[in-house]
Homo-oligomer: A and B are copies of this chain.
């Protein structure tokens, strides 16, 4: 069974056996474990490693002058933190563990060897970087334009599809460890309001969320509820859950 990073990158391009072997090596060496709610990387630092998430959930977040924090993205298996390491001076945001987080440390040398010898992988890594930028744009739209109900529905759709693309879903169910506080911080709402809105979504049968497991009984209905259009994820294989009706409007 291929690892999550390989699966992700194959959303974009066909990799050779040599590429795959290299990516497997990536995940094999110097694995380390971060306990829940601890930072993997902190704002203002210049970490020595590129981290590949093997297992667990994390969050990218920014801290404001007034002490509040905003989650700007979730981090799931197959995600890298952070390519910009070797280009930007210091981190402008933090990465925190939501669950226990297993990550592989990739050193500068290893990374450079890949960039030099594996053009396929290099391009695929930049693809991943650009997709995650596109996700940032969608989050701007999410918090700026959608109602509380739409924001949450949208977030559930996105995370489900992202997990599916790395093989971490079973049917329409997946792990979903963020607390209501995390959801609040990711959607720009308060935890109180997230709680009430979640109850609405549950009452309408759009999501089942209990014991950190998410089930989506009707993906198409949830996509409608969140004004969700998966194009921004740039998955090659998104035919499955794509709502064909999406393209009727305008």
Contact = CB atoms under 8 A, between A and B. Distances in A.
A130 B62 contact: no
Contacts of A18: none
Interface string A203-244: 000000000000000000000000101011010000000000
B250 A63 contact: yes
Contacts of A134: 84, 88, 92-93
A145 B92 contact: no
Interface in A132-177: 132-134, 136-141, 143-145
Given A126-B87, A133-B133, A64 B140 contact: no
A182 to B, nearest CB: 13
A232 B70 CA distance: 15
A30 interface: no
A89 interface: yes
Task: Classify chain A: how many residues form its interface, as a range.
Answer: 35 or more
Interface string A74-107: 0000000001100111001100000000000000
Given A92-B234, A126-B87, A130-B88, A227 B66 contact: yes
Given A138-B62, A140-B136, A232-B92, A68 B127 contact: no
A125 to B, nearest CB: 10
Contacts of A138: 62
A28 to B, nearest CB: 27
Contacts of A139: 140
A120 to B, nearest CB: 12
A249 interface: yes
A112 interface: no
A123 interface: yes
A65 interface: yes
6 contacts: A63-B250, A70-B144, A87-B126, A88-B130, A89-B234, A136-B136
Q: Which 6 A-B pairs have the closest CB atoms?
A: A144-B188, A136-B136, A143-B144, A84-B130, A92-B232, A72-B137
